[in-house]
Amino acid sequence: MKVIPVPCLSDNYAYVLIDEEANQVIAIDPVEPEKVMAVIKGTSMTFNTVLTTHHHMDHSGGNTRITAMVPGLQVYGGDSRIPQMTHQLTDGEEFTLGSLRVRAIQTFGHTTSSICYYVRSKTEKLVFTGDTLFVGGCGRLFEGTPEDMHESLSGKLAKLPGDTKVYAGHEYTKSNLRFARSVDPDNLELKQKAERCAKLLCTMPSTIAEELATNPFMRVDQPALQIASSKTDPVDVLGEIRRMKDNF
């Protein structure tokens, strides 16, 4: 597999996922179809699938235009608010695209339409996390609760293999890591990651292992985060540090 990040809008990412074995490509959240199609045309590969992480227009807003540009596209998503959706997914549903195996992971918290796509080839693993899991952060709780987000992050995504590459929906990494260091100041791995990312324009991908070591929203059982939040229950810790991040 090969993943090409396509910067869109002010800080969004669409992605083009290249399945070299099947000679086809998949688009993830192609909010600016013209930019995404320029990348796809450069591959000279077959394009017939769009994966949508959630219904917010900065992720799904290109679906109508791209399906008009390429008639017959399959569009996968999590609920009826996804424009042009042809396949509504359920939690844990698996399907095959070309040579790749895809599992839909329903991740409530940011929205109730949120789906993370866990994709496996014969040798690699990656996950497209939309606005659920960011590098060093998580999405705002627009349609869910701290309990929902904790289950999505620690109950589901944290269970993926540690070497799974993480491709998030926004380039929020530098600000996320500044906040992370304010609530987890003695975390050496976090300090080193922040130093690495400070030199990068695109900080994708991360990995599940890196997020478990550095992302405060996936470390809510750790003493440093309990001290920072003045809470002990992991769900309460997540809720408080999400409130702190909203005001950071």
- The b-or-e profile of 106-145 (16+ CB within 10 A means b, else e) is bbbbbbbbbbbbbbbbeeebbbbbbbbbbbbbbbebeebe
Candidates 55, 148, 150, 170; catalytic one:
170
User: Shortest CA distance to 98 belongs to which of 214, 178, 207, 20?
Assistant: 20
Candidates 19, 29, 55, 131; catalytic one:
131
Candidates 110, 148, 150, 184; catalytic one:
110
The yes-or-no answer on residue 110 being catalytic is yes
The yes-or-no answer on residue 184 being catalytic is no
The yes-or-no answer on residue 87 being catalytic is no
The yes-or-no answer on residue 11 being catalytic is no
The yes-or-no answer on residue 55 being catalytic is no
Candidates 19, 58, 148, 184; catalytic one:
58
Candidates 29, 54, 148, 184; catalytic one:
54
The one-letter amino acid at 82:
I
User: Shortest CA distance to 92 belongs to which of 107, 79, 111, 110?
Assistant: 107
Helix (H) or strand (E) holding 171: none
Candidates 29, 55, 56, 148; catalytic one:
56
Identify the residue whose tokens are 């995404």.
36
Candidates 59, 148, 150, 184; catalytic one:
59
User: Shortest CA distance to 178 belongs to which of 149, 141, 216?
Assistant: 216
Strand order in the sheet with 74-77: 2-8, 12-19, 24-28, 46-51, 74-77, 87-88
Q: Tell me the sheet residues that pair with 28.
A: 15, 51
Catalytic residues: 54, 56, 58-59, 110, 131, 170
